[in-house]
């Protein structure tokens, strides 16, 4: 555990751990870092939120939040390439990686992650947050920026930036389906399956087979270096809470609500887009973005200059991603 800073924004007293060691599925190492790298535990009422800190403990870091069912290793390739004077604290969302699971009976929804942003800000005493989010966390960052614009120094959104817009006529059926899925998942959350390392990777990669994600085996092994634990018998279990198999349902938001959030956002905002619009309609993406730009002169949309660099481009094409982020950091960090 590390001590709470009361009046300063830097992270002080970071606890260095051996969490990532021989008991982990480390068959593929992330790229070497120019930064010092430390493990971090943040106390929360239900246990702890874990994370990795690249860079100085004496400067306020960028708070990096991964996507649904990923973990902090999602930033293992990108964080070392960001500016040396821009530390990165990548956290494992509740129920992901080594972070504590929510108490039994509770559902993982975006409100959990929304409140976590505020909780971490309060814990470290940061006046304004430097926030980077991928996928689900990018959507949550957009929501947070619309509600607490005064809390944010800037936002970097990877691939998506807002929740998909849901027509009001679809709300009831989607919400009902989400609740039913939650209870079904809860009922089936018994003993965690155990896999050989090869089975672990094969099963995980099969889950990406029919998606637009550019996840490859090398990148997936990096995720599993933090997303799995090797047991005494040599087999591996996935650290992720099985309840996360249920889709989040809080973010069923109409397009007009999305625009209202956009009108409230005042901080510099960098959106980096992959090569595929698979989560939402492209016209809805740009319609809300135009509203953001109409009230905020510091909103930027950048396309990754790589064909077929889709949802996990920050992990699979880290150098190209960093080349877009670093000029933004030079201006606003």
- Tokens linked to 181: 């899925």
Average pLDDT over every residue of 278-288: 87
Burial label, 180 (beta-carbon count in 10 A; 0-12, 13-18, 19+): exposed
95 pLDDT more than 80: yes
Distance CA 192, CA 172 (A): 32
Residue 220 resides in a domain: no
Residues whose CB falls within 8 Å of the CB of residue 162, separated by 6 or more in sequence, listed in order: 139, 142, 143, 258, 261, 262, 280, 285, 288
pLDDT tens profile 211-251: 767 788 899 999 999 999 999 999 999 999 999 987 777 67
CA dist 274 to 70, 220, 231, Å? Answer: 18, 18, 37
pLDDT reading at 276 higher than 80: no
**Structural domain total, the chain:** 1
Give the bridge partners for 112, in sequence order.
none
Per-residue pLDDT at 303 exceeds 60: yes
> For residue 2, what are the CA distances in angstroms to 85, 213, 247?
22, 36, 33
DSSP string, 156-216: EEES--SPPB--HHHHHHHHHHHHHHHHHHHHT--SPP-B-HHHHHHHHHHTTTTSS----
Inside any domain, residue 311 = yes
- Is 14 within the bounds of a domain? no
Position 243 in a domain: no
Q: Give the distance, in angstroms, between the CA of residue 153 and the centroid of all CA atoms in the same chain.
A: 18
pLDDT score for 18: 40
Domain that holds residue 52: 36-167+249-332
DSSP letter for 102, please.
Answer: P
Kindly report which listed range (4-13, 100-109, 179-188, 220-229) carries the lowest average pLDDT score.
4-13
Query: Would you say residue 147 lies in a domain?
Result: yes
Under DSSP, is residue 269 helix (H, G, I), strand (E, B) or coil?
strand
Report which of 63, 44, 45 is spatially closest to residue 55, judged by C-alpha positions: 63
Sheet strand arrangement including 37-44: 37-44, 47-54, 88-91, 62-65, 129-134, 152-158, 269-273, 299-303
Give residue 281's pLDDT: 85
Residue 307: per-residue pLDDT: 75
* Model pLDDT, residue 212: 62
DSSP 113: H
**Residue 97 confidence (pLDDT):** 97
- So which residues are the catalytic ones? 135
Asked if residue 184 is part of any domain, the answer here is no
Per-residue pLDDT of 157-210, as tens digits, reads 999 999 988 888 988 998 999 899 999 988 887 778 999 999 999 998 888 776
DSSP one-letter string for 32-72: P-SS-EEEEEEEETTEEEEEEEES-SSSPPEEEE--TT--G
**What's the rounded mean pLDDT across residues 239-264?**
88
Burial class (CB in 10 A: 0-12, 13-18, 19+), 169: exposed
The tens digit of pLDDT for each residue in 121-165 reads 999 999 999 999 999 999 999 999 999 999 999 999 999 999 988
Q: Is 20 left (phi over 0), alpha (psi -120 to 50) or beta?
A: beta
* pTM greater than 0.85: yes
Identify the residue whose tokens are 């004077």: 85
| pLDDT class of 15 with cuts at 50, 70, 90 | low
For residue 241 the two structure tokens come to 């809470």
Residue 322 has pLDDT above 70, yes or no: yes
Determine, yes or no, domain membership for 254: yes
d(CA 180, CA 173): 11
Q: What is the total residue count of the chain?
A: 333
Q: Give the CATH number for residue 100.
A: 3.40.50.1820
Handedness of CA 279, 140, 303, 213 (dihedral sign): negative
Domain contains 6:
no
């Amino acid at each position: 555990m590390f001590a709470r800073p009361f009046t300063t924004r830097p992270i002080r007293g970071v606890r260095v751990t051996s969490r990532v060691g021989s008991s982990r599925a480390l068959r593929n190492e992330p790229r070497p870092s120019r930064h010092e790298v430390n493990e971090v535990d943040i106390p929360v009422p239900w246990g702890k939120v874990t994370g990795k800190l690249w860079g100085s403990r004496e400067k306020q870091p960028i708070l990096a939040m991964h996507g649904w069912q990923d973990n902090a290793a999602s930033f293992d390739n990108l964080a070392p390439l960001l500016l040396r004077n821009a530390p990165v604290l990548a956290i494992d969302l509740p129920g992901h990686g080594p972070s504590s699971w929510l108490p039994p009976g509770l559902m993982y929804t975006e409100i959990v992650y929304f409140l976590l942003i505020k909780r971490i800000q309060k814990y470290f005493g940061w006046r304004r947050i430097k926030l980077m989010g991928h996928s689900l966390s990018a959507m949550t960052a957009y929501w947070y920026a619309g509600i607490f614009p005064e809390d944010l120094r800037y936002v970097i959104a990877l691939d998506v930036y807002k929740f998909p817009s849901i027509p009001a006529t679809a709300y009831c059926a989607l919400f009902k389906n989400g609740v039913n899925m939650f209870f079904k998942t809860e009922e089936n959350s018994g003993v965690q399956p155990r896999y050989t390392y090869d089975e672990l990777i094969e099963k995980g990669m099969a889950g990406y087979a029919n998606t637009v994600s550019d996840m490859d085996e090398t990148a997936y092994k990096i995720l599993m270096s933090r997303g799995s634990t090797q047991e005494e018998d040599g087999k591996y279990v996935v650290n992720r809470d099985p309840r996360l198999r249920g889709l989040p349902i809080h973010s069923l938001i109409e397009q007009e609500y999305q625009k209202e959030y956009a009108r409230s956002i005042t901080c510099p905002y960098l959106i980096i887009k992959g090569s595929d619009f698979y989560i939402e309609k492209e016209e809805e993406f740009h319609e809300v973005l135009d509203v953001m730009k109409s009230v905020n002169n510091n909103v930027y949309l950048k396309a990754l200059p790589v064909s077929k660099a889709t949802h996990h481009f920050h992990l699979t094409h880290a150098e190209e991603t960093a080349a877009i982020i670093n000029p933004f950091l030079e201006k606003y960090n």
